[in-house]
Amino acid sequence: MFVTSQRIALFMEGALDSDSGKMGFGLMRFSKHPIVCVIDSKFAGKTVKEAVGLPYNIPVVATIDNAVQKGSEILVLGIAPSGGKFPTSWEAPISEALQKGLSLINGLHDDLNARFGHLLNTKADQKIWDVRKPKANYPIATGKAAQLNNKRILMIGTDMAAGKMTTGLELYAELKKQGMKVGFVPTGQIGITIMSSGIPLDAIKVDQAAGAVQEAVLEHSDKEIVIIEGQGSLAHPGSTATLPLIRGAQPTHMILCHKAAYSHLREPVSHIPIPPLDEFIALNEALAEVCGSQTKAKTIGIALNTTGLSEEEALNSIKETVKLTGLPTTDVVRFNVAVLVDEVLNC
């Protein structure tokens, strides 16, 4: 869609210190494009590291005009608002960005080509990429992925924004570095943006969702290992994404992703407790196997997101999780992904 040398600015107004900035955080860690700045007026004049402690010396600026002055060519909506809806308060800054010649990467559900396309200068090759735009139709799933002779590793989560995409990409990168023939199936806005391919699972008709996953997994039939980015959670009352991922991918193995500092789901369902991890693992495995009629998927490790915990607290949480589940556990960002890579290679 875009040349990787093009410079990007992350629009994160009011979200640099919030979980809703996960699109921006994902790109900071994995983007192949140079990131010249982050837009969030609250922290203007600082770097991302100075503002929120993340290990990125990316300057934070206050306005679209500041981003243009920094040499930005593409504006990325780095915020994932609840429900993926475009806030009306963004109308003015996004219009300004397009009028100043920036292209736009939009990971929200709204079609911004329809909304802002009239502002594009097509002669200058200016574009709007609506990342969550599915194909018109996908096949109905048939369980065909179960016939593949490879390892299919699905990331599952106790909640939204638990680290499923990050864990999957860290695994993919390390396995590739080790010379493995590995594929990655992006299923959400961040993964698709980073890999420039994938399926916008939560924008696909529910009857076709498992088929879309199956189709994407079958495209990697020549790979020894396929990492499938997870979405949502069986524990979340507003999520329908995990079941089609399981049915379409027919995973042979799973990795559980959990935000260690949380005992309950995030707003707006914070009244719902997160189940005990050992019981939740059993639930996902039972759902995958369907009483022995479909692929048995063993959970081989746990990726804890220890954001908000001190290093001592994080290490204690890892020890407690190992004791409870008997599974190798790490924080793939704070520590490393090696223990999970070993499990993938040896399972």
For the stretch 162-171, pLDDT in tens is: 999 999 999 9
Per residue in 117-150, pLDDT tens? 999 997 788 999 999 999 999 999 999 999 999 9
CATH code of 144-346, in short, is 3.40.50.300
**Mean per-residue pLDDT of the chain:** 96
pLDDT at position 69 over 90: yes
**Domain 8-130 belongs in CATH node 3.55.50.30:** no
- pLDDT classification of 237: cutoffs 50, 70, 90: very high
Residues 125, 299: Cα–Cα separation, whole Å: 46
Q: Tokens 């192949």 belong to which residue? A: 32
Element (H, E) at 189: helix 189-195
pLDDT at position 25 over 90: yes
All structural domains of the chain with their residue ranges:
8-130, 144-346
The reply to whether 144-346 shares the fold of 8-130 is yes
Closest CA to 182 of 165, 170, 193, 194: 170
Residue 95: Cβ-neighbour burial (10 angstroms; 0-12, 13-18, 19+): middle
- 80-98: average pLDDT: 90
Per residue in 172-203, pLDDT tens? 999 999 999 999 999 999 999 999 999 999 99
Q: Are 1 and 167 spatial neighbours (Cβ–Cβ below 8 Å)?
A: no
Residue-level pLDDT at 84: 76
- 315-321: average pLDDT: 98
